[in-house]
Every structure is written in C-alpha cells, then in structure tokens.
C-alpha cells in the first residue's frame, strides 16, 4: 500500500461561517468547509500524534480572527492561514428537509479564493508534508491561473515525497460547465495518490454505472488507492494489493447528513497515517461518519470530538 512518510498533514481549501439549524427556527454559528471538516476531525482522532494544519485564506476581521483562534485551540497548526485585508470568510446556511440538507451560500468575498495567488507562500505552507488533502471545492473556487499554480505546487510536493489525497466533491454551481468539471478533475487525478470520491457525484458527472466502474476509471487514470463512498451502501475500494467492498453499518438517530463524507475522509486518512490497511481505515471512516450523522452541522460537538481519539490505536 501507499506509505505516508511522516506525521505532518495539511488540508487545503475553504472554511466558511456555518449557520446550522438546531430547531424552532434557531441556528448555531460554527465554522465548516469540506477539507477543514476533514482535518478538524483528524485532529480529534490523532491529537499530538500528528502535526495537522489547514491552508486557506482569511480576512483581517473579527470573524476571521475567531476562526484562526478556534483552529489553533482545537489542535491545528495555523501557519498556513494567509490573511487578506480586502476580503473575509464566506458564509453558508443549512436548510433541512427531514435529515437531508440543502445549502445557501454567500462566498463572493471569500479570501480562500485567493489561497493560491502566491505560489511561494503556498509551497512553504505544505513543505515537508507527508500527506496533503484537497477537494474539488478547493479547485472550483480558484481562478484558472491560480488553479494552475496549485497544480504546479502539488506536483513539486509529490515529487518531494508527499502523498496527495483528493475528494472530487463536485458542486456544479461552482463550475462553468460539466466539461470544465471533467477536464479539471482529470488534471487533478494525474497528481492524486489516494482518491476519495462519492459515487453519486461520479455517476452524475462521469456517467459511471456503479461504484466498480468508478474504481476502474480512476485506476485507469493512474490513481493507486481508490475508496468510493456510496451513502448507506457498501464502500468500494482498490489498492495496489487488493480490492473489494466493505458494507456500511446502519446508523440510528440520524439528524443531519451534512459533512458525513468529510468525516469519513478524516477517519480513513487518519487510519492510513497510523498504518492501518484499507479495510480497517474504511471501518474507522464509517465510525467517524456515523458520529457526524447523529448531530447537526458538519462537525461533531467538541465534547464528542474529545472522544474520537479512542477510535484510533
């Protein structure tokens, strides 16, 4: 299997102000974003056994300061946070229909859209990382020239020994066309060691007939380790040594599906950083996702997060 050389990991992407419903027309303010959710849960799982950081853009305002302070207090390295005095954090609101969710976004002034403007600063932020994680949202929020800079930085990091993990996490509203999605994801797959797609995205935008087809297509693209999430259905996987499907255990008391895939990624990547095989790491990902499903919002409450470290040996 792929070997992650050290315990330094960075996630690259956008964190936003989250307004999550808690009932009776009330909302709780939090911070969330797909790759941030992943690395935050990894910090709870791994604690001081790993050096975990988040690379993004923030403003110079009070809400950005609050995010940076909370990130550091929760055990993440803030060195990769780049400040922009002309911008701030984006915001999104979760609307629930039962346990399913839809989102309303306000992100035009998000400083994270400029996280790849300075290639030297981005290179410094990920330097020496054993594992780098990013998503399709990371790519989608960037202007084409910034995306090209990010690809170049990732290529150099990979050549230096970093393992690149990528969740396509396709949000059509962030893209100009289906063709742009396909072309950009294909470019990213060339740089990807561990792919963590969701089957519904792959079926909708790449017309895969089933998760096995997704596995085969990504393997043909050169990805060595592939894990396909599929809601409550089995997780399909392939590594250089083995392949198969792991049933997803049922989850009771589901309140909100927001962030479940990000939490799965956290468990899987934390497991792989600790040397677990693919099937064991998938099981850990499923357990972390189950915790998120039982709470409102994209991240578990902090008192629950404090218990996650017991899941990892």
Give the residue numbers annotated as catalytic, written as ranges: 262
Sign of CA dihedral 103, 107, 111, 115: positive
């Amino acid at each position: 299997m792929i070997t992650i050389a050290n315990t330094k990991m960075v996630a690259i992407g956008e964190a936003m102000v989250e307004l999550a419903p808690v009932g009776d027309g009330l909302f709780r303010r939090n911070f969330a974003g797909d790759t941030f959710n992943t690395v935050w849960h990894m910090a709870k799982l791994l604690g001081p056994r790993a050096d975990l950081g988040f690379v993004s853009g923030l403003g110079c305002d009070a809400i950005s300061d609050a995010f940076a302070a909370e990130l550091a207090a929760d055990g993440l390295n803030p060195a990769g946070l780049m400040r922009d005095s002309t911008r701030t954090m984006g915001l999104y609101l979760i609307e629930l229909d039962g346990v399913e969710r839809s989102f309303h976004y306000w992100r035009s002034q998000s400083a994270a859209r400029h996280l790849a403007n300075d290639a030297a600063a981005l290179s410094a932020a990920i330097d020496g990382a054993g594992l780098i994680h990013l998503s399709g949202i990371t790519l989608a929020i960037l202007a084409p020239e910034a995306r090209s800079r990010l690809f170049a930085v990732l290529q150099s990091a990979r050549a230096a020994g970093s393992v690149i993990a990528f969740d396509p996490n396709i949000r059509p509203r962030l893209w100009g066309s289906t063709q742009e999605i396909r072309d950009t994801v294909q470019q990213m797959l060339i740089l990807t060691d561990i792919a963590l797609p969701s089957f519904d995205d792959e079926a909708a935008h790449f017309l895969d007939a089933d998760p096995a087809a997704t596995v085969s297509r990504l393997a043909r693209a050169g990805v060595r380790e592939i894990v396909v999430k599929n809601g409550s259905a089995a997780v399909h996987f392939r590594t250089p040594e083995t392949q198969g499907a792991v049933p997803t255990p049922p989850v009771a008391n589901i309140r909100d599906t927001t962030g479940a895939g990000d939490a799965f990624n956290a468990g899987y990547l934390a497991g792989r950083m600790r040397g677990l095989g693919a099937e064991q790491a998938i099981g850990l990902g499923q357990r972390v996702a189950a915790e998120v499903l039982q709470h409102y919002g994209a991240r578990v409450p902090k008192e629950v997060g404090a218990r996650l470290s017991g899941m990892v040996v």
